[in-house]
């Protein structure tokens, strides 16, 4: 099979329409306001819905675009170049939670929830992490006990995005604690269910995606809110993470490319010692090195998405993307900030915010160390991993 590295005409047209949307709507003023207020506006949600991005990868029968992985990646990259958080909103809504609902919820829940997501009326979140369990996700302790046609949930989810934003969470709880990761199930939790108590974090970045927690006290969920059958939750979430991790990595690449482009523009015009600073090799080389590394990471991300569209397993590739791209992005944005000198140390320029936002995804959806464990497991075999 010939190897192709070009986007086709349709993909390029789509890329320019998303870039145009981002230029027009993700203005400096808006981005600053969303960051300061730790919330997006209804107007943004409506605009994302108008151009079909709110439900980009949700199946068309529920009002979405049914976009493939590469096309979704293009949207995420272009939005993230301008505002990382808007790119990430798409990932959480469409992939991390909407994707699970579209694949595993019953028909009634799907047709109730997904059209509202696609029209920008509601948002979704995913609740796996707990106060005492992050990387070791199989070790969650939230319990779901079946009783009288209901599941009764008790426990606490912490460090989850979209608290106060999402109307529903895809939530993971133990239905058979004695089975470890094989005893976890996925549920659809309406946040207005009785017994759900939200609380909020005041974060460094990623602010409109509002991280916080949910305390669950005797929350009764009807049986039909179980998704994908009992005890299949861990498998479901790990498969979905392969997709979300790749897109998150691509969003980091997008943010870093946006930062470098801004730095180049600045360096063309800023003079020192009578010359535009872009003439100095010390400045050029720093930028060129980051562009080179980001291009390699970008190709890895798109190839991973392309493999997914071909129906291939992408666990190894997705983990490679996720350990590497956020790290490269943080380094590139840091240098882009330094290239612009003192003004970029202020909130008047977007570099400091990009840095704050992207650092979050060095942790969120799994740290670099955990991704390297996944790559090692895939490459060397489970027998060389010291964990169950």
Ligand X SMILES: Cc1cc2nc3c(=O)[nH]c(=O)nc-3n(C[C@H](O)[C@H](O)[C@H](O)COP(=O)(O)OP(=O)(O)OC[C@H]3O[C@@H](n4cnc5c(N)ncnc54)[C@H](O)[C@@H]3O)c2cc1C
Contacts to ligand X by CB under 6 A: 125-129, 134-135, 159-161, 206, 211, 360, 363-367, 369-370
**Residue among 231 and 367 whose Cβ is closer to ligand X:** 367
CA distances to 63, 90, 117, 307 from 120, in Å: 11, 11, 5, 30
DSSP state of 97: I
Q: Nearest to ligand X by Cβ — which residue?
A: 134
**Residue among 63 and 212 whose Cβ is closer to ligand X:** 212
CA–CA dist 357, 337 (Å, integer)? 14
What's the min distance (Å) between Cβ of 213 and ligand X?
10
What's the min distance (Å) between Cβ of 163 and ligand X?
9
**Residue among 11 and 154 whose Cβ is closer to ligand X:** 154
> Nearest CA to 214 among 232, 192, 199?
199
**Residue among 133 and 284 whose Cβ is closer to ligand X:** 133
What's the min distance (Å) between Cβ of 333 and ligand X?
16
What's the min distance (Å) between Cβ of 129 and ligand X?
4
**Residue among 125 and 258 whose Cβ is closer to ligand X:** 125
**Residue among 211 and 293 whose Cβ is closer to ligand X:** 211
3-class SS shares of the chain: helix, strand, coil, % to 5: 60, 15, 25
What's the min distance (Å) between Cβ of 91 and ligand X?
10
Instruction: Give DSSP secondary structure letters for 56-82.
Output: TTS-GGGTS----HHHHHHHHHHHHHH
Going by C-beta distance under 8 Å and a sequence separation of 6 or more, which residues neighbour residue 70?
7, 11, 302, 305, 306, 309
What's the min distance (Å) between Cβ of 291 and ligand X?
26
On whether the CB atoms of residues 30 and 43 are closer than 8 A, the answer is no
Strand 226-227 versus strand 184-190 pairing type? antiparallel
């Amino acid at each position: 099979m010939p190897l192709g590295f070009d986007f086709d005409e349709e993909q390029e047209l789509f890329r320019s329409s998303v870039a145009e949307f981002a230029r027009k709507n993700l203005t400096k003023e808006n981005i600053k306001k969303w960051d300061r207020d730790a919330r997006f506006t209804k107007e943004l949600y409506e605009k994302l819905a108008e151009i079909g991005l709110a439900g980009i990868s949700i199946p068309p029968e529920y009002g979405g675009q049914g976009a493939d992985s590469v096309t979704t990646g293009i949207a995420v990259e272009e939005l993230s170049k301008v505002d990382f958080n808007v790119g990430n909103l798409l990932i959480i809504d469409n992939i991390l939670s909407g994707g699970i609902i579209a694949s595993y919820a019953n028909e009634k829940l799907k047709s109730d929830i997904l059209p509202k997501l696609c029209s920008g009326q509601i948002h979704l979140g995913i609740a796996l992490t707990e106060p005492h369990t992050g990387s070791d996700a199989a070790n969650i302790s939230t319990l779901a006990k079946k009783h009288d046609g209901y599941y009764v949930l008790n426990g606490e989810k912490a460090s989850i995005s979209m608290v106060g934003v999402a109307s529903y969470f895809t939530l993971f709880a133990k239905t058979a604690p004695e089975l470890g990761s094989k005893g976890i199930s996925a549920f659809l939790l309406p946040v207005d269910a009785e017994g759900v108590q939200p609380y909020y974090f005041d974060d460094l970045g990623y602010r409109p995606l509002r991280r916080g927690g949910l305390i669950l006290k005797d929350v009764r969920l009807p049986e039909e809110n179980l998704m994908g059958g009992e005890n299949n939750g861990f498998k479901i979430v790990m498969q979905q993470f392969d997709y979300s991790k790749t897109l998150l990595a691509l969003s980091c690449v997008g943010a870093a490319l946006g930062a470098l482009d801004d730095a180049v523009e600045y360096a063309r015009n800023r003079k020192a010692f009578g010359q535009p600073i872009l003439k100095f090799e010390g400045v050029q080389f720093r930028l060129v090195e980051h562009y080179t590394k980001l291009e390699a990471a970008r190709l890895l991300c798109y190839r991973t998405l392309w493999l997914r569209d071909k129906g291939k397993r992408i666990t190894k590739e997705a983990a490679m993307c996720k350990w590497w791209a956020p790290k490269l992005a943080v380094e590139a944005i840091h240098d882009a900030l330094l290239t612009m000198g003192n003004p970029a140390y202020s909130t008047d320029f977007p570099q400091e915010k990009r840095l704050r936002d992207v650092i979050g995804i060095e942790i969120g959806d799994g740290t670099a160390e955990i991704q390297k464990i996944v790559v090692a497991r895939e490459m060397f075999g489970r027998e060389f991993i010291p964990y169950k």
